[in-house]
Amino acid sequence: MELPGLAFAIWLSFCFCVPVDGYPNGKVRQACAGMVPCHGTAPQLPLEHTITLNVTEFKPGDSIEVNLSGPDFEGFFIQARDAEHLDGPAVGSFTLADRRLSQLLTCSPTKNSAVSHTSKTKKRQIKVYWLAPGDAPNHIQFLATVVKKYKTFWVKIPGPIVSQPNALCSETEAIPTSQPISHLSNPFNASGCGSTKFCLRNPSNCDAESVSCFFLSFQWEGSSVLIEMSGPSEGYIAFALSHDQWMGGDDAYLCVNEDHHLRISTAYLKGRSPPVLDSENALEDVSWRLADGVLQCSFRRSILLPAYNGRFNLDADYYIFLADGEASGDELIYKHRHQPLVTNDMYKITDLSQDIGGSRSPPLIKVHGVLMFVVWITTVSIGVVIARFFKPVWSHSFLFGKEMWFQVHRVLMLTTVMLTSISFVLTFIYRGGWSQQAGYHSYLGCTLMALTIIQLLMAGFRPSRHAPRRWWFNWFHWSTSTTARILAVVTMFLGIDLPALDLPDPWDTYTMIGFVAWHVGIDVLLEVHSYCLVRKVELVENDRVQILQSLTSAEAEGLTFKQVMLTIYVCGNTGFLAAFLVAINQI
C-alpha cells in the first residue's frame, strides 16, 4: 500500500517542526550580570554599533544623554558600570526618551539600572538618560549588548568613559608578570620538535609558520619550561593540562586578544564553566605577536609552583587540551567554537622526544559518524529502493528458498539495525551518559533508534501475505520507514555541524543537500517509469474490451532500465559515502 501525497506532506511537516524561544519583549533580567543573550551561539566580531555621550565629565546628580546607534537592530541592553571594575554590578539609574522603543529594568539594588527594548521592531538609534548617583565611582563606562537577529549579536560593546572632575585617569593595567612584556619579531617554527622540545600540532605535522596551523611547544630548560603557543583566532587560543579527557579541574593557559593587544594569563577550569582569568600568575619572559590573524604567545613557567593554587607540576603525565574561541573585553571568554584537540594519551611535557598531532574529533564520535553515514546513505536507501521497485521483477528469482528481493532487503535492513544500535551505544560510552550538549540531535537520534527497533519488531510479527491484517502492516511499515528516513536526514544535518564532529563548512551542508536531491531524483525517476509501464493498455476492438497489462508483466519489461538505475544509484550513494568518510578522516 502507498500513502497518498497528503499523508507524506503531513509526515514531512511534522518532522521539520522545531520550536525557537527568545525574549522579543526585552525582559532580559537573566542576562544582567554577563549581558550575554542565551541564544546558543557566540557573539559577533568586529563591532558595528557605537555608544556616544554628550559630556566627558560628570558630578553626582548629573543627567547624561546616552545614544546607541548603528545598522538596523532588534534588541539591546544598556548598563553603566564602574570603569575600574567592569565585572561589578550596574551603577546609577536611567530615564527614557521614548517609551515605545525602550523600557527600564532593575539589574542591581538600584531601581531602573538598565535599559532594554520593548519589541523586535528594527531600530537604528536609541536615546536614554543616565542619572549619576551620589556615591558614583570616579570613572563610569557604558556597555551595550545589541541583537541584530536571533543568532547575530554583539556583547558588552564598550562606550566612552566619563569621569568626575579631578579624578585620576583610569588606564588599563599592565599584565601582572614578573618581567616586562616584549614583542616577538618572527613566527614560531617547528625546528627541534621531537628532539629539543615537545610539540603538539593540529593538523598533524603542519608548518608552525602557516596561518592555519595550531602549534604548541614545551622546551625544558633547567628548572623551568619555555612554552610557545600560536594559532589562527580572533579571540583567544589556549591549552590546558588535565588528569582526564574531560573539561574540569584543569590547569589552563590563555592567550587572549584584547583590542589588538595580547594578554597571557593562567586560569583554573571548574567544570564546564567559562574560565576566570587569574589576577596574578607566575609566568615569566612573556612575549607575543599578532599578525595575519594568528595569535602567538611565548612565556616561561617553573616546573614546580607550590605557592600557586591550581598550577600543576610539569614533571607529571597529563592529557593536553588545545582550544580556540572568541573573547571580548572584561576578561569574558566564550566557549570554544570547535571541539578542542585532546590528546589520546597522557604525556610528560618535559619529555623532549615527542612531536605529536591530534584530531579535534574523538575516535568514538568518528566511528559513530561513519556507521551512521554507512547505514543511512547506503543500506537503508538501497534496501528501500529494492523493496519498492524490484519486488515485481525479482519475485520469481529465489535465494536460499526466499524471493531474491526479500532476501536482499532483509539483509540490508538487519545490517541497518545492527550498525545503528552499535553507533547509538557508542555515543553513551563517549559521554558516560546523557548529554545536553548535542541539542536536538540527541532527541532525534533517540527517536530514530526507537523507530528502527519498532520496524524490526513489526517485520518479525508481520502477518502472511493474504491475511486480513496485512493491509495494516503495509501502512504501518511504510509510514514508520518514511518517518525514520526523514528524521535521519534531519538528524544528520544537525550532527555534521556539532563541535564533536564539525565537518568542513559549508561543504558538509552542500554535500548533504546533494545526497538528498540525488535520492529524491532517482526515486521520482523510478516512480515515473513504473507509472508509465502500468498505464500501457491493449485494446481489443472486436470484443471492445480494454485490457490493462498486469503490474508484473509491465514491470518485467522495464527490468533492464531498473537494473541500470540501481547500478547508478548504488555508485552515486557510494560516492557520497566516500566523500563523508574522507572528510571525517581528515578532521
Cell 545490517: give the residue. 415
- Cell representation of residue 406: 526479500
Question: What integer is the mean pLDDT of 446-467?
Answer: 89
Question: What integer is the mean pLDDT of 137-156?
Answer: 88
The predicted structure's pLDDT at residue 329 = 56
Question: What integer is the mean pLDDT of 95-113?
Answer: 85
Least confident of 215-219, 257-261, 489-493: 257-261
CB 116 within 8 A of CB 126: no
pLDDT tens, 460-482?
888 887 888 888 888 998 899 99
pLDDT, averaged across the chain: 81
Angle between helices 470-495 and 440-460 (to 10 degrees): 150
The predicted structure's pLDDT at residue 152 = 84
List domains and CATH numbers for the chain: 29-163 (2.60.40.4060), 182-359 (2.60.40.1210), 363-586 (1.20.120)
Confidence class for position 241, pLDDT limits 50, 70, 90: very high
Q: State how far the Cα of 567 lies from the Cα of 169, in Å rounded to an integer.
A: 77
The predicted structure's pLDDT at residue 172 = 38
Which region, left, alpha or beta, applies to residue 436 given φ > 0 means left and ψ of -120 to 50 means alpha? alpha
Cβ-count burial 427-438 (b if 16+ within 10 Å, e if not) = beebbeeeeeeb
pLDDT tens, 538-579?
433 344 444 444 445 555 567 788 888 889 999 999 999 999
pLDDT tens, 8-35?
333 333 333 333 334 554 466 666 877 8
The predicted structure's pLDDT at residue 175 = 35
Which secondary structure element, helix H or strand E, spans residue 405, and what is its range? Answer: helix 404-431
The predicted structure's pLDDT at residue 331 = 56
- Cell representation of residue 308: 600557586
Compute CA distances 366 → 245, 430, 495, 500, whole Å: 16, 11, 11, 9
Compute CA distances 373 → 19, 353, 385, 426, 573, whole Å: 27, 38, 17, 15, 10
**What's this model's pTM, rounded to 2 decimal places?**
0.57
Least confident of 68-77, 171-180, 523-532, 575-584: 171-180
Compute CA distances 94 → 53, 160, 469, whole Å: 14, 17, 72
| Strands (DSSP E) found in 92-151 | 93-96, 102-105, 114-117, 123-131, 139-149
Compute CA distances 525 → 2, 375, 535, 553, 561, whole Å: 17, 23, 16, 19, 11
Residue predicted with more confidence, 179 or 41: 41
Residue 169 has pLDDT above 50, yes or no: no
The predicted structure's pLDDT at residue 415 = 95
Residue 451 has pLDDT above 60, yes or no: yes
The predicted structure's pLDDT at residue 290 = 83
CB 110 within 8 A of CB 119: no
pLDDT tens, 383-419?
999 888 887 777 666 777 788 888 999 999 999 999 9
> First CA to last CA across the chain, in angstroms?
44
pLDDT tens, 180-224?
456 777 889 888 898 889 999 988 888 888 888 999 999 998 889
Confidence class for position 507, pLDDT limits 50, 70, 90: confident
Least confident of 121-125, 332-336, 356-360, 469-473: 332-336
Least confident of 31-45, 84-98, 141-155: 31-45
CB 106 within 8 A of CB 114: yes
Q: State how far the Cα of 523 lies from the Cα of 495, in Å rounded to an integer.
A: 25
Q: Which of 325-334, 438-447, 529-538 has the highest mean pLDDT?
A: 438-447
CA 276 and chain centroid, separation: 23
pLDDT tens, 116-140?
998 888 999 999 999 999 889 999 9
The predicted structure's pLDDT at residue 555 = 53
Residue 5 has pLDDT above 70, yes or no: no
- Cell representation of residue 404: 531474491
Least confident of 82-96, 207-221, 301-315, 532-546: 532-546
